[in-house]
Amino acid sequence: MAKRIDVKDLNVYYGAFKAVEDVTMTVEPRSVTAFIGPSGCGKSTFLRTLNRMHEVVPGGRVEGHVMLDDQDLYSPKVDPVAVRRTVGMVFQRPNPFPTMSIFDNVAAGLRLNGLRDKKRLAERVETSLRGAHLWNEVKDRLDKPGAGLSGGQQQRLCIARAIAVRPSVLLMDEPCSALDPISTQAIEDLIGTLKSDYTIVIVTHNMQQAARVSDRTAFFNLAATGRPGRLVEMDDTQKIFSNPTQRATEDYISGRFG
């Protein structure tokens, strides 16, 4: 189920502006990979190329290859919609669909992709909510609006919604930056259990969080404002935080800049 991602020579553009330059990396399946780096270094932009969400932005385009196991996501034969079914995403701010109940939010991806069978829907919703550690809190009010939950619950609802379509990879774009410490803790625990089934990539500004949840860490940086961001180094999380190869990484994690 979980898949490996191989990125080769990837350049990311907004129109004529090159936002991220020349990234080559491997993301291992059934592990958590964290992207860290200062604001504007392109880590979120790069993350969004992994499920072809970058091209949703007007002028957004990409050069290079992203291989999911043996398949090039940017091959002309590949449908971006199918890519996003395989590579799910959780966003910075919880964004449940406001017109839908808790149940409908989780079922949304399944229903909109054509699953009608009520019994199977109910099963998948329960499995996903249990998977997102939210079932016990909402099982008695599944028909209530999703927007009525607390921020942390909403974010777990969004995670349940994302895993309900059974992706191989789960991308998380600063999933805890809008949450309080207790909800953050809940999400981090959740990431720990999800990684036995999924390939997880998480962008975070919080270096302690990267150190806590990830197996591998990639540090992104940009040479100067207006220049494209690039991957400085990527290694085992323990190595990055104890003994990084690059000077810039050490400066960043020790808080000397950024």
Partner 1 sequence: MTIVDTGMDTAVQETRDGSARRRLTSGLGPKAAGRRVRDELARVVMWLAFLVALVPLVWILGSVLVKGGHMLFESTWFTHSQRNITSSDVGGGAIHAIQGTLIQGAATALMAVPIGVFTAIYLVEYGRGALARAVSFMVDILTGVPSIVAALFIYAVWVTTFGFQRVGFAVALSLVLLMVPVVVRSTEEMLKLVPNELREASYALGVPKWKTIARIVIPTAFSGIVTGVLLGLARIMGETAPLLILGPYTKNIATNLFSGNMATLPTMINQDRVEALQPALDRVWGAALTLILLILLLNVVGRIIARFGAVRT
Angstrom distances, CA of residue 136 to CA of 83, 94, 110, 167 = 32, 19, 22, 23
Structure tokens at 163: 């895993």
Burial class (CB in 10 A: 0-12, 13-18, 19+), 212: middle
Q: Is 101 in the site for partner 1 (CB under 8 A)?
A: yes
Residue 10 CA, distance from chain mean position = 18
- Binding residue for partner 1, selected from 134, 162, 194, 232, defined by CB under 8 A: 162
Angstrom distances, CA of residue 58 to CA of 14, 33, 94 = 8, 28, 23
Q: Is 53 in the site for partner 1 (CB under 8 A)?
A: yes
- According to DSSP, the residues that pair with 218 across neighbouring strands are 35, 234
Q: Is 113 in the site for partner 1 (CB under 8 A)?
A: yes
Pick the closer one to partner 1 by CB: 165 or 240. 165
Give the shortest CB-60-to-partner 1 separation in angstroms. 12
Q: Is 243 in the site for partner 1 (CB under 8 A)?
A: no
The owner of tokens 């910075």 is 92
Give the shortest CB-147-to-partner 1 separation in angstroms. 5
Binding flags for partner 1, 72-91, as an x/- string (CB under 8 A): ---------xxxxxx-xx-x
Give the shortest CB-86-to-partner 1 separation in angstroms. 8
146 neighbors 101 (Cβ within 8 angstroms):
yes
- Binding residue for partner 1, selected from 24, 71, 75, 99, defined by CB under 8 A: 99
The binding site for partner 1 (CB under 8 A) comprises 51, 53, 56, 58, 81-86, 88-89, 91, 93, 95, 97-101, 108-109, 112-113, 145, 147-148, 158, 161-162, 165
